[in-house]
Amino acid sequence: MAIATREAIPGDDLATLEGLVRGRLAAEAEAQHQASSGAEQLRLQAIRQIVGYLRPASGEGNGRP
């Protein structure tokens, strides 16, 4: 049998392979979660900076330097 795939884990024992695949999937899901969380934090920080720039400072007109 020939199988084409980007990733493969060779082996003969299905129980061992299942554990390896589940572990790899869990690690990939955690990495994706970390990346999404970091991107969300950057997005929120950018929004806060924009809002701070646009918000009028007390007694200074529009808050711009």
4-54: per-residue pLDDT in tens?
A: 888 888 889 999 999 999 999 999 999 999 999 999 999 999 999 999 999
- Could you write out the DSSP letters of every residue in 16-55? HHHHHHHHHHHHHHHHHHHHHHHHHHHHHHHHHHHHHHHS
Distance CA 33, CA 39 (A): 10
Place of tokens 């980007």: 6
Distance CA 32, CA 25 (A): 10
Q: Is the pLDDT of residue 62 over 90?
A: no
Report the 10 Å Cβ neighbour count for 18.
12
